Amino acid sequence: MKAIVLRSTGGPETLALEEMPEPVPGVGEVVVRLKAAALNHRDAWIRMGKYAGIVLPIIPGSDGAGVISAAGSGVDASLIGHEIVINPALEWGASARCQGDQFRILGLPDNGTYAEYVTVPARNIIPKPKWLSFDEAAAIPLAGVTAYRAVVTRAQVKEGDTVVITGIGGGVATFALLMAKQRGARVFVTSGSEEKIERALTLGADGGATYKDENWVKLLTAKAGCVDVVIDGAGGTSFDAALDLLSPGGRIAIYGATLGPVHELQVRRIFWKQLTVLGSTMGSPEDFENMIALFGKDGLRPVIDSVYPLERAAEAHRRMDLQEQFGKIVLAIA
Ligand SMILES: NC(=O)c1ccc[n+]([C@@H]2O[C@H](COP(=O)([O-])OP(=O)(O)OC[C@H]3O[C@@H](n4cnc5c(N)ncnc54)[C@H](OP(=O)(O)O)[C@@H]3O)[C@@H](O)[C@H]2O)c1
């Protein structure tokens, strides 16, 4: 089969198309003939060598949608031919509260979805909503479940809440915007680009400010008023600023640290303002099912930034490295 294989870490050029053996399903597994995959920032961290537990060579990719082409022993063979979406949270574990110690994410250490075929446990497949294209379905899994858990399960955003979502161009952030709006919240966004803020407004955002303006917290407070919830995936100075932005009693769901650590955390703001800090990672199987259900016939649709053929994965990564995207970057697999 054709697959993008990472043999050494580095720039986008390290992602090369190769001929690889087609995978065979083990006990309880299925093989999926992929029609589309999608990028997540995790893939870029792995490619750059900035992710824990890197094993090489590896076929990257957590997101995928396709058709079941083979079933291993213990799996109902009538599933062959079914159109499915993959839940990339492997071995979440027994508790909905947090993942167990066997938890891992498809695409490292297991070979991922930048390929014509991938093997996954049969319990990690879910029927593809039939009104979604394969490109749309592949855009959803990792970012969709991360946004769902942060917005719904952890921050419990409800009607009337004022929510700030940072870095709205990001894959997770665009899903968070759609989900928070669907729940009846007022939503404000930050971005490095005015154009992306304009695009967020067309998706229902109520306002925004660019984080490149050093007064962005003041500007956004003037527009948003009391902020009940911040959904942040940037960490670093963005997390720090969120503690100023939040009103007393507010909550922050934090799912990423693109900017790295917070260098001088003024803890006083957390206790004096009675803030709640909610860490959030991926989501349980129940989160995943509930999230996919939001993409019903008349429901949400993922925001797709661009679609590249699989063999141009390096170009797709370059776009993510340059932060040019608004929403999800998809890889179409012929
Ligand atoms: N814990 C988990 O389960 C989990 C799951 C998914 C992702 N993550 C992590 O979450 C982060 C985002 O992931 P993703 O896949 O959505 O990434 P992505 O699509 O590459 O988006 C990253 C976004 O970060 C924003 N950003 C950059 N500098 C910023 C700043 N100073 N303040 C606020 N935002 C800033 C940019 O927004 P603009 O383009 O609008 O400027 C950029 O588009 C990554 O660090 C990823 O590793 C964690």
Q: How far apart are CA 275 and CA 256, in angstroms?
A: 19
Report which of 54, 111, 60, 119 is spatially closest to residue 86, judged by C-alpha positions: 119
Residues making up the chain, counted from first to last: 334
Q: Is residue 284 part of a domain?
A: no
State the pLDDT at residue 80: 98
Q: Whose CA is nearest to atom 36 of ligand 1?
A: 167
Q: Whose CA is nearest to atom 2 of ligand 1?
A: 281
Helix (H) or strand (E) holding 272: helix 268-272
Residues 151 and 275 in one domain: yes
CATH value at residue 159: 3.40.50.720
Using the mean position of ligand 1's atoms as its centre, give its distance from the Cα of residue 79 in Å. Answer: 35
State the pLDDT at residue 261: 94
When pLDDT is cut at 50, 70 and 90, the band that residue 104 belongs to is very high
When pLDDT is cut at 50, 70 and 90, the band that residue 156 belongs to is very high
State the pLDDT at residue 224: 98
Q: pLDDT digit string (tens) for 220-264?
A: 999 999 999 999 999 999 999 999 999 999 999 999 999 999 999
What does pLDDT average to over the chain?
Answer: 97
Q: pLDDT digit string (tens) for 163-199?
A: 999 999 999 999 999 999 999 999 999 999 999 999 9
Residues 35 and 100 in one domain: yes
> Max alpha carbon distance in the chain (Å)?
60
State the pLDDT at residue 283: 98
Helix (H) or strand (E) holding 194: helix 194-202
State the pLDDT at residue 10: 98
Residues 177 and 235 in one domain: yes
Q: Whose CA is nearest to atom 13 of ligand 1?
A: 41
CATH value at residue 304: 3.90.180.10
Residues 135 and 7 in one domain: yes
Q: How far apart are CA 88 and CA 106, in angstroms?
A: 5
Using the mean position of ligand 1's atoms as its centre, give its distance from the Cα of residue 112 in Å. Answer: 21
Q: How many domains, the chain?
A: 2
When pLDDT is cut at 50, 70 and 90, the band that residue 137 belongs to is very high
Q: Cα 168 from chain centroid?
A: 12
Residue 42 Cβ inside 6 Å of ligand 1? The answer reads yes
Q: Is residue 193 part of a domain?
A: yes
Cβ–Cβ < 8 Å for 60, 118: no
Residue 302 Cβ inside 6 Å of ligand 1? The answer reads no
Residues 11 and 136 in one domain: yes
Q: Is residue 37 part of a domain?
A: yes
Residues 134 and 8 in one domain: yes
Report which of 161, 185, 160, 165 is spatially closest to residue 175, judged by C-alpha positions: 165
Residues 136 and 13 in one domain: yes
Prediction pTM value: 0.98
Residue 319 Cβ inside 6 Å of ligand 1? The answer reads no
Residues 168 and 261 in one domain: yes
Residue 99 Cβ inside 6 Å of ligand 1? The answer reads no
When pLDDT is cut at 50, 70 and 90, the band that residue 329 belongs to is very high
Q: pLDDT digit string (tens) for 6-22?
A: 999 999 999 999 999 99
Using the mean position of ligand 1's atoms as its centre, give its distance from the Cα of residue 258 in Å. Answer: 6
Q: pLDDT digit string (tens) for 40-95?
A: 999 999 999 999 999 999 999 999 999 999 999 999 999 999 999 999 999 999 99
Beta strands in the chain (DSSP E): 2-6, 15-19, 29-38, 63-71, 83-86, 89-90, 104-105, 117-121, 125-127, 162-165, 186-191, 207-210, 229-232, 251-254, 276-279, 304-309, 328-332
Q: Is residue 289 part of a domain?
A: no
203 strand-pairing partners: none
Instruction: Characterize the bridge pairing of strands 83-86 and 63-71.
Output: antiparallel
Q: Is residue 285 part of a domain?
A: no
State the Rg of the chain over Cα: 20
Q: Is residue 41 part of a domain?
A: yes
Residues 129 and 18 in one domain: yes
Residues 24 and 122 in one domain: yes
State the pLDDT at residue 151: 99
Residues 17 and 135 in one domain: yes
Q: Is residue 286 part of a domain?
A: no
Q: Is residue 82 part of a domain?
A: yes
Closest ligand 1 atom number to CA of residue 192? 41
Residues 39 and 112 in one domain: yes
Residues of the domain holding 188: 145-279
